[in-house]
């Protein structure tokens, strides 16, 4: 039995400890805002925070997380009004939207580490988050807007 600490709540977990935390979050705890893309740690769709730092939840087993602090997109704000979420809405960033929770989680981590990133720093921090719709330009603008 592991106590998972997700979005400030304790959850008792007694399933497979080798399971990627992505599936524990989505299928067992029903935090479905975190998405499955490649399953190989390559696309960033499954990004969540572990102790405030972005991780690929598809490539991180439950046993590696233990009771450390996990934050998903649902845990960023009560009403979807975190400054980064507000910037995303103001600039209509998503197209299909599938990758966007991972994009937002990476952007939030970037701004917590670097409150005023330049374009190069944004591109470097976001390079692991792939968007098939090509919303990169709007993502860059939204990160600048959220950093103002």
Contact residues: ligand FES, CB under 6 A: 36-39, 41-46, 56, 58
Cβ closest to ligand FES, residue 20 vs residue 94: 20
Give the CA angle between residues 54, 85, 93 to the nearest 5°: 95
Cα–Cα distance for residue pair 85/76, rounded to 1 Å: 9
Give the CA angle between residues 39, 40, 45 to the nearest 5°: 55
Cβ closest to ligand FES, residue 61 vs residue 83: 61
- Least Å distance between CB 74 and ligand FES? 17
- Least Å distance between CB 138 and ligand FES? 21
- Residue whose beta carbon is closest to ligand FES: 58
- Least Å distance between CB 113 and ligand FES? 20
- Least Å distance between CB 103 and ligand FES? 12
């Amino acid at each position: 039995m592991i106590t998972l600490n997700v979005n400030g709540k304790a959850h008792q977990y007694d399933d497979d400890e080798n399971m990627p935390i992505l599936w524990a979050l989505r299928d067992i705890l029903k935090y479905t805002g975190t998405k499955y893309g490649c399953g190989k740690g390559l696309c960033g769709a499954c990004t969540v925070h572990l102790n405030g730092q972005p991780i690929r939840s598809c490539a991180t087993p439950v046993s590696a997380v233990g009771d450390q602090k996990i934050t998903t997109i649902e845990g960023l704000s009560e009403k979807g009004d975190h400054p980064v979420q507000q910037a995303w809405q103001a600039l209509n960033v998503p197209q299909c939207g599938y990758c966007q929770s991972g994009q937002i989680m990476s952007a939030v981590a970037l701004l917590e580490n670097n409150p005023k990133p330049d374009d190069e720093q944004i591109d470097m921090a976001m390079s692991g988050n792939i968007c098939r719709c090509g919303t990169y330009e709007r993502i860059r603008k939204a990160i600048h807007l959220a950093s103002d």
